[in-house]
Amino acid sequence: MQVMEWFAETLHSDWQQRMKVEKILYHDQTEHQDLIVFETGRWGTVLALDGVVQTTTGDEFAYHEMLAHPAILAHGRVRSVCIVGGGDGGTAREVMKHATVERVLQAELDPGVIEFCRKFLPTLSDGAFDDPRLELAFGDAAAFMAKDGESFDVILVDSTDPIGPGAALFTESFYRDCRRRLNEGGILVTQAGNPALAGRELADVMARKRAAGFADVDFLLTVVPTYVGGFMALGWGSDDATRRRVRSDTLRARPIPEGLRYYTPEVHVAAFAHPAWVEQVARGG
């Protein structure tokens, strides 16, 4: 097995984080990317692609819980959910915690990603891929959303950064297709980058969702320690502004899954209260 003492992330040319490697579980240069899975003492098991941390078992809950639960609980009557991407299974795991959800369709580009993560990161999906409510649709997710088909109460886009294949999931046309596939009062939540280091990404997500016709566009913030820069923005789009303005006492009266480690009704409401500098970034300033 290859020896590596430290893993150094290379996402930014002028800012680097390093993690001490306890054990490498898998490392290969595939046709498309360098893929490594390793164990650490502080962050558990880490998955990195092309030198960039994608997820860790130590703090993934801060991302997956906030991607899934605010939309589902704010809506209040979710029966159907579409997950775009999310091959590690963390988003599906959180969605499946809601007993009211009757159907989940997950559009994933590569079936190999799911099988790989089930083998090396099984706690992320935690059985979600075996839930009979879940249907997998493999192929280009942007092309899938562009087709005529069933509509959903909530669409969650758990994507990589807007480079390579992931770039198609950050376009105005993709957001327009998502809006068309939402039921009345539906909600779209998307990965929107780190406002400290990728502010243009957040500003573009906001502008493109407005251009796509969403009447209510905003973003919520979560903090994922192993994503360099701290804050992670999650873009929000709906045609019903009352969904975003739901109060914490209303949320407490709804069936919140037990055992959550990040999400609370109070955190939900606070996630839409942004520091002034982040608001400026989101406006393109």
Within this chain, do residues 274 and 208 fall inside the same structural domain, yes or no? yes
The first and second tokens of residue 44, run together, are: 């558990």
pLDDT in tens, 201-258: 999 999 999 999 999 999 999 999 998 878 999 999 999 999 999 999 999 999 999 9
Tell me the three state secondary structure of residue 180. Answer: helix
Within this chain, do residues 102 and 129 fall inside the same structural domain, yes or no? yes
Within this chain, do residues 36 and 69 fall inside the same structural domain, yes or no? no
The beta strands (E) that lie in 192-262 are given as 216-223, 231-238
Tell whether 69 is covered by a domain.
Answer: yes
| Domain CATH number, residue 36 | 2.30.140.10
Alpha carbons within 13 A on the beta-carbon side of 82 = 27
Tell whether 1 is covered by a domain.
Answer: no
Among 147, 125, 122, 123, which Cα is nearest to 137's? 147
Q: Helix 199-211 vs helix 172-180: angle between axes, to the nearest 10 degrees?
A: 50
Residue 1, pLDDT > 60, answer no
pLDDT band with cut points at 50, 70 and 90 for residue 49: confident
Within this chain, do residues 23 and 68 fall inside the same structural domain, yes or no? no
Among 87, 156, 68, which Cα is nearest to 125's? 87
pLDDT-above-70 percentage for the chain: 98
Tell whether 125 is covered by a domain.
Answer: yes
Residue 31, pLDDT > 80, answer no
Among 112, 170, 117, 184, which Cα is nearest to 141's? 170
Within this chain, do residues 30 and 85 fall inside the same structural domain, yes or no? no
pLDDT at 16: 87
For the annotated catalytic residues, the residue numbers are: 158
Within this chain, do residues 83 and 141 fall inside the same structural domain, yes or no? yes
pLDDT in tens, 96-133: 999 999 999 999 988 888 989 999 999 999 999 999 99
The beta strands (E) that lie in 89-215 are given as 103-108, 134-138, 152-158, 182-191
Of the three residues 21, 40, 56, the one that is the final residue of a domain is 56
Tell whether 218 is covered by a domain.
Answer: yes
Within this chain, do residues 50 and 143 fall inside the same structural domain, yes or no? no
Within this chain, do residues 173 and 78 fall inside the same structural domain, yes or no? yes
What is the number of structural domains in the chain? 2
The domain containing residue 41 runs over which residues?
6-56
